[in-house]
């Protein structure tokens, strides 16, 4: 890989990987870095992360080993792990036009007054009906569909399997919505015409307990880029 062969990344990043400032790379190296992102992301997500200022590589890129990349800029970032042919994204922090997430407003319209009143302390997703649960999963899927449909489907299936242990938080005004469960820490916060999206998979991510939503007491094949 040209980027690894000809560049000296900064080894001082928190993850221990080599971080490359894209603006400081040669033209050929920038092309190699962009090829990495294009191989990992779908077309829409590649455009969203087109202004990334860094690329960090952790581990040794290979077809069947475990390694990862992180990339982003001042307002958006994402990390991808490749492990024995599987691909997972976590964590992801990004912004998007609020109009991209119509599911959020539609979901809020289905909530009863009682359910709205429980959002601040936590509402068990298991108490929602099946159509409401599907709307939530659709919201998460639409927010984190950064790569191919198979990668997204795998993440959603893991969340679906643990909905009985997942809780919903939010504000009654419909501007903030969060999910917390064994396979999801997800939040959407509307800020004017922009939606701030945060997603992490607690089963794979190193997010500390202090950074998670406290639910205590709540009722019940990687792309070839090497």
The domains of the chain are located at 1-84, 93-217
**Residue of higher predicted confidence among 220 and 149:** 149
User: pTM to 2 decimals?
Assistant: 0.79
Confidence of residue 118 (pLDDT cuts 50, 70, 90): very high
- Edge-to-edge, what's the strand order for the sheet holding 123-124? 18-21, 54-58, 66-72, 77-83, 86-97, 194-200, 184-191, 176-181, 167-170, 123-124
Residue 50 tokens read as 């087109």
Secondary structure E strands in the chain: 18-21, 54-58, 66-72, 77-83, 86-97, 123-124, 167-170, 176-181, 184-191, 194-200
pLDDT surpasses 90 at 185: yes
Report d(CA 109, CA 44) in Å as an integer: 28
Q: Is the pLDDT of residue 196 over 50?
A: yes
From CA 176, how far away is CA 52, in angstroms rounded? 26
pLDDT bracket for residue 6 (50, 70, 90): very low
Q: For residue 109, how many other CB atoms are within 10 A of its CB?
A: 9
């Amino acid at each position: 890989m040209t980027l690894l062969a000809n560049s000296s990344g900064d080894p001082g990043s928190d993850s221990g990987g080599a971080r490359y400032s894209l603006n400081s790379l040669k033209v050929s190296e920038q092309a190699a870095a962009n090829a990495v992102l294009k191989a990992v992301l779908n077309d829409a997500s590649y455009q969203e992360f087109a202004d990334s200022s860094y690329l960090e590589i952790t581990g040794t890129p290979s077809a069947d080993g475990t390694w990862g990349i992180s990339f982003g800029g001042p307002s958006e970032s994402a990390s991808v792990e490749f492990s024995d042919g599987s691909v997972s994204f976590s964590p992801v922090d990004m912004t998007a036009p609020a109009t991209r997430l119509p599911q959020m407003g539609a979901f809020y319209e289905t909530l009863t007054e009682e359910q709205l009143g429980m959002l601040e302390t936590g509402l068990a997703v298991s108490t929602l009906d099946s159509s409401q649960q599907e709307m939530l999963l659709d919201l998460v899927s639409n927010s984190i569909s950064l790569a191919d449909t198979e990668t997204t489907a795998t993440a959603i299936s893991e969340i679906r399997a643990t909905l009985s242990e997942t809780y919903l938080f939010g504000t009654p005004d419909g501007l903030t919505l969060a999910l917390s469960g064994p396979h999801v820490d997800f939040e959407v916060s509307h800020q004017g015409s922009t939606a701030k999206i945060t997603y992490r998979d607690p089963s794979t991510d190193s997010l500390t307990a202090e950074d998670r939503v406290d639910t205590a007491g709540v009722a019940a094949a990687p792309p070839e880029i090497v």
